[in-house]
Amino acid sequence: MESPSNQVKTGSLVQNLVSQMNEITLNRIGEMNLENARVNQAFIDRGKSLAELRNQQIGQGESAIIMASGPSNKQHNP
């Protein structure tokens, strides 16, 4: 069982990390996100919104997978 002093230290660490989460995230993936946006900008006029795709025939059946890359993509493609 944790002592009260260990709980205070852990709580302080968690609070410190939470208060810095935006900066930590920006430092970790900010430049990659900006580069992805620059690369994808060339394709923006070719894309369609999900609303526009709603009644499109996609082949046999009626299923599709909509994917969007995010920070977790780095875990699978470092």
Domain residue ranges in the chain = 9-40
Which among 21, 20, 40, 22 is positioned nearest to 32, based on CA atoms?
40
- Is the pLDDT reported for residue 59 higher than 90? no
- Is the pLDDT reported for residue 9 higher than 80? no
| 59-74 average pLDDT score | 69
pTM of the full predicted structure? Answer: 0.46
pLDDT digits (tens, 9 = 90+) for 10-54: 788 889 999 999 999 999 989 988 998 898 888 888 877 777 877
Q: What's the pLDDT at 37?
A: 87
C-alpha–C-alpha distance, residues 29 and 70, integer Å: 10
